[in-house]
């Protein structure tokens, strides 16, 4: 605690970058998740219960948050394999809302009263984790796994017949994405000091999606840029706070017309032969 104003923003940027990457990994296999805040919630509450009620260290809490969120990633991702495109979007949307409603009512986590007392997130911690995650994700995408992810996204049928186990690929991406969201959730909870279900609404899931839509959904740097812009900008445009969501909505619509792949796309990195 006692973070400076800029320090707080730096932490939020860091956490949002992790969130953006978490969605990016899942999305890179073509699976759209409109309920990512749900995984974040699981990580957040799990971490909170561990540090506040069980008195464990934040590090331990983060690890457990990641594992638990990852487990749910498996539970959601497994049946989701059968769904494609729009059906998956709806299912994940439903999942996110179910999680939110659950925490709104679950007495153990004080329902709508929320949980409080979480501390420990600091700039070094966030950025240490972020750096590690960026490195791992970047390496992942520049590997045979990354190419498999892309192949599955572009053409699942062709990917299958080229020997790619689509089930494993999609599940892996889902679980990884969920775990990362869980980590971000734990970090976020221990920065916010207080959380309740309103922290994890459908709007939150859309905000995360917007990081990808604006910044870019094709390469690792896109989500990072999106998170940076969309976290820093509202602070700069404080006077427009009421209309922030209007701007977000218009941004989404505009990007879909003009440049759906986001600001940073793959072509930027394509070497001229």
Partner 1 sequence: MLTFSGVSKYFGGMKAVSDVSFGIEQGAIHALIGPNGAGKTTLFNLATGLVRLSGGQVLFGEHPLASLEPHQICRLGIARTFQNIRLFRGMTAIETVAVGTNTRFHYDIFTAMLALPRKRRNEKKAFDKAEEILDFVGLKKKSNYLCYELSYGEQRLLEIARALATGPKLLLLDEPTAGMTETETENVSDLIKSISQKGITVFFIEHDMRFVMGLSSKVTVLNFGTLIANGPPQEVQNNEAVIQAYLGRGGALNVGG
Partner 2 sequence: MTILQQCINGLMLGSTYSLLAIGYTLVFGVLQMLNLAHGEVYMIAAFFAWAMVTMMKLPFFAAFIIASLIASLSGLLIELLCFRLVNKDYPLASLLSTIGLGIVLQNFALVFSKGEMVRFPSAFHDFNINIGGLAISGVHVLILSIGIALMLSLQVLIFKTNIGKALRAVAENRVVAGMFGLNVNFIVGVTFVISSGLAGVAGVLTAMAYHSITPFMGVEMGLKGLTVIVLGGMGSLTGAMIGGLMLGLGEVLAMGYLPMCLIGYKDAIAFIMLIMVLLIKPSGLMGRSQEVKV
Site residues for partner 1 per CB under 8 A: 136-137, 139-140, 143-148, 150-151, 154-155, 157-166, 172, 218, 266-267, 270-271, 273
Nearest distance from residue 163's CB to partner 1, in Å? 4
Distance CA 66, CA 190 (A): 14
Selection from partner 2, partner 1, none that 242 binds (CB < 5 to 8 A by kind) is: partner 2
Distance CA 245, CA 203 (A): 9
Question: Would you say 238 or 267 has its CB closer to partner 1?
Answer: 267
Alpha-carbon distances of 195 from 7, 9, 46, 179, rounded to whole Å: 20, 18, 12, 19
Question: Would you say 50 or 219 has its CB closer to partner 1?
Answer: 219
Instruction: Report DSSP state, residue 221.
Output: H
Selection from partner 2, partner 1, none that 256 binds (CB < 5 to 8 A by kind) is: partner 2
Segment (H or E) for 116: strand 115-116
How many alpha carbons lie under 13 Å from residue 157 in its C-beta half-sphere?
Answer: 0
Burial readout 202-236 (b: 16 or more C-beta within 10 A, e: otherwise):
eebbbbbbbbbbbbbbbbbbbbbbbbbbbbeebee
Compute φ and ψ for 163, nearest 5 degrees.
Answer: 95, 5
Selection from partner 2, partner 1, none that 71 binds (CB < 5 to 8 A by kind) is: none
Nearest distance from residue 172's CB to partner 1, in Å? 7
Question: Would you say 238 or 271 has its CB closer to partner 1?
Answer: 271
Question: Would you say 87 or 194 has its CB closer to partner 2?
Answer: 87
Which residues contact partner 2 (rule: CB under 8 A)? 30, 32, 79, 82-83, 85-87, 89-91, 93-95, 97-98, 101-102, 104-105, 111, 157, 202-203, 206, 209, 213, 242-243, 245-246, 248-253, 256-261
Question: Would you say 82 or 271 has its CB closer to partner 2?
Answer: 82
């Amino acid at each position: 605690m006692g973070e400076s104003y800029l320090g707080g923003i730096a932490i939020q940027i860091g956490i949002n970058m992790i969130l953006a990457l978490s969605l990016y990994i899942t999305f890179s296999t073509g699976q759209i998740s409109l309920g990512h805040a749900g995984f974040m919630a699981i990580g957040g509450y799990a971490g909170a219960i561990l540090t506040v009620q069980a008195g464990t260290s934040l590090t331990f809490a983060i690890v457990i948050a990641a594992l638990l969120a990852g487990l749910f990633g498996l539970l959601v991702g497994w049946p989701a394999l059968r769904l494609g495109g729009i059906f998956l979007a709806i299912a994940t949307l439903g999942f996110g809302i179910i999680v939110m409603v659950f925490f709104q009512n679950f007495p153990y986590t004080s329902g709508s009263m929320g949980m409080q007392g979480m501390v420990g997130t600091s700039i070094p911690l966030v950025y240490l984790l972020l750096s590690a995650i960026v490195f791992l994700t970047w390496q992942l995408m520049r590997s045979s796994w990354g190419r498999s992810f892309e192949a599955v996204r572009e053409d699942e049928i062709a990917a299958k017949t080229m020997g790619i186990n689509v089930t494993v690929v999609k599940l892996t991406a889902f679980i990884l994405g969920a775990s990362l969201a869980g980590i971000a959730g734990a970090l976020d909870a221990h920065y916010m000091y207080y959380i309740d279900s309103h922290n994890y609404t459908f709007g939150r899931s859309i905000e995360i999606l917007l990081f990808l839509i604006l910044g870019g959904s094709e390469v690792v740097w896109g989500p990072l840029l999106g998170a940076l812009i969309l976290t820093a900008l509202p602070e700069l445009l404080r006077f427009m706070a009421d209309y922030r969501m209007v701007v977000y909505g218009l941004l989404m619509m505009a990007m879909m017309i003009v440049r759906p792949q986001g600001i940073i796309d793959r072509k930027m990195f394509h070497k001229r032969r």
